[in-house]
Structure formats: structure tokens, C-alpha cells
Amino acid sequence: MSAFTNLLRPVLFRIDPETAHGLSLKVLASGLSPHVRPDRDKRLARRLMGLDFPNPLGLAAGLDKNAEVADPLLSLGFGFVEIGTVTPRPQAGNPKPRLFRLVEDGAVINRLGFNNQGHAAALARLEARRGRGGIVGVNIGANKDSADRIADYVAAIRAFSGLASYFTVNVSSPNTPGLRDLQGKAALDELLARVVEARDSEPRRVPLVIKIAPDMDEHGRADIAEVVLSRRIDGAIISNTTVSRPKLADAATAKETGGLSGRPLFRMSTIALAQFRQMVGPDLPLIGAGGIDSAETAFAKIAAGADLVQFYTGLVYQGPGLVGEILAGLSRILDRRGLASIADAVGIETDKWAKETP
């Protein structure tokens, strides 16, 4: 990590963020990034949703939108990676500039708008890596101009059911107009009913999780919990980026529209996670996302109620070595706390976090 911080980051941070993102993908594809065994500490392993996770660290969707570098990302030490968001048809996304660093805040604002090459391109790349192992989830969304957005999600289930380790139903991106309306109780129930029906009609049963926004009030969160439980969805990710703007050092960039991710999201997303855990009970697998940039923040998510965690923005600021650092740090935390496994830490501070205010 010191090499990245001292040498590479200053170079990348002189470049437009979206250009730097493309360059990072090329570096990953070259195989020059660190290689870390994901299963080096058996205490970190989890079996959830019928899948064997070698450790609880996942890459959130957004970095590898088109399934270009799933295997190089797994080699960093991730227990699982999530590609996408993918839409049925390719789309360019929103006008540039649409990605902004807030360096002092350890944050990013994006309004990319599901820019991706479409189902066919991602499907071809996942087909090419068939049989290589590793958990690779597919984050699915709808085209901006779709006449039937639910049909877009169903199309993704049909297309990727033979290759996806799990699906993430993304209804919480703030950058596609009207998409978050699908989080409303009636709309979400219809969406999940159709998606589950499509999933269950395929030869292979693929776990389904839903990714929700951190900005909802308690009533909205409770509605989602009720639908998720009634439709027997396999899990949930809490949370996506936020449209709110907590106090930020970079006040000028904070005025940009889009979803805020990174360190400022940690507190509100962790509170939302704990409250959602209380609503759904102890058994539903939950993935905590938002503001993870250290072993301590990863462990805090788990203690708040997450079975697994995901991050992305932390890599922007600390580089690919962050994965191995967090894994080593989690092992030390288990030793320090006298815990036999990471599973023993899940939810030990749910009640504490749920009482906090963002």
C-alpha cells in the first residue's frame, strides 16, 4: 500500500477520475497487482446462500462494470466480486464529467448512469472464464429508456442464470431517473415477484439479493424488509450511495449531483444496516457496504449485523493492497477479541448501532 500511496496515487490523481479508472482496469488485466490467498485464515470463511465464501470481503459493483477483470480482482484476495451494473442494451450513461474525487473526505461522487456495454458483452466474458472458480455476482439494472424496467431485470436473470454466482437487483442507484421508485412497497413486490418467478424457472437456482439506498426513513426500510421476507429473497446489500450531503471538507465538489460514496457514508450506512438487521431478524444474509477502508470499519459493519461486506471507494484512495491489509487486520481483531471465527462477530453490536443517529 505504501508503494501505491507514495508513487502511483499521485500520478493517478493528476488524471481525470474516469480516465484513471480505465487505466486501473488495464493494470489489473496486466496481472501486476498484488496476489493474496483469499482463504489464508479459515476463521474468516462463511457459507451463505449455498455459497462458500473464503472470506467476507467483497468488491462492490461499479469498478468492473463489464466483467473485464473478475479474475484479477479475485486474485487481490477478495472473497467475492460483483460485476456490473449491467443493462440489457449498451448505454453510454450520463454526460461527462460525471465522476468526482473529494480527496480530503476520502469520498467520491458519481453520476455515471449505468454506463456499460450491455448483457452480451458481459455474458461473453463470463462464459470465457467458466470453470475458473471464485464467487462472481452480477449486479443487474434497467436501461434508462426502457418501456418496461421490470422486464429488463427478468431479461438479466434469463441471460446470466447459468454463470452468475448470485444476482444483485439494483433498485437504488440515484443516477437513473425514477429507478429508486422501484423501492416503493407495491413496485418492489411486483418486481421481486417477477424476478423470483424467472429465477425459479431456470435449471439452476441462483441466489438473489437486493441493494437498497441508505436515504430511506424507517417506514420505507420496514416496507422493504417486509417484501424481502415475504418474497423469500436470499439477502440484501445495505447500502448503495447516498444523495444526502453530510458536512464535507470539499464543499465545492459536494455541490455536484450524484451518489456519494466513501468515508462520509460509513456512519449512516452502518446505522441503516443495523436497523435493517433488527427488522429482518438474525437469519437473512446481509452484506454491509459504505465507507469501508480498514479492518476496523469492516469489523464494525460485521458487528452491526453484516455477514459479508463490500467496498470500492477505499481502493481508490489506498490501492489494491487494501484487501490483504483488511484480511490481516480482521485476523488480528479475532485474536484480540478471543473470537473463534468471523461468524461469531456478526451482530454483536447491532443494538448499539441501531440506536445511533446519522
Considering only CA atoms, which of 217, 160, 153, 221 is closest in space to residue 191?
153
Considering only CA atoms, which of 207, 204, 123, 208 is closest in space to residue 159?
123
Q: Which amino acid is at 31?
A: G
> Of 161, 173, 239, 261, which one is the catalytic site residue?
173
Three-state secondary structure along the chain?
CHHHHHHHHHHHCCCCHHHHHHHHHHHHHHCCCCCCCCCCCHHHCEEECCEEECCCEEECCCCCCCCCCHHHHHCCCCCEEEEEEECCCCECCCCCCCEEEEHHHCEEEECCCCCECCHHHHHHHHHHCCCCCCCEEEEECCCCCCCCHHHHHHHHHHHHCCCCCCEEEECCCCCCCCHHHHHCHHHHHHHHHHHHHHHHCCCCCCCEEEEECCCCCHHHHHHHHHHHHHCCCCEEEECCCECCCCCCCCCCHHHCCCEEEEHHHHHHHHHHHHHHHHHHCCCCCEEEECCCCCHHHHHHHHHHCCCEEEECHHHHHHCCCHHHHHHHHHHHHHHHHCCCCHHHHCCCCHHHHHCCCC
From residue 206, alpha-carbon distances to 51, 57, 166, 273, 301 in Å are 10, 20, 5, 24, 25
Within a 13 Å sphere around the CA of 212, how many CA atoms are in the beta-carbon half? Answer: 31
Quick check: is 173 catalytic? yes
End-to-end CA distance of the chain: 31
Q: Would you name the residues annotated as active-site residues? A: 173
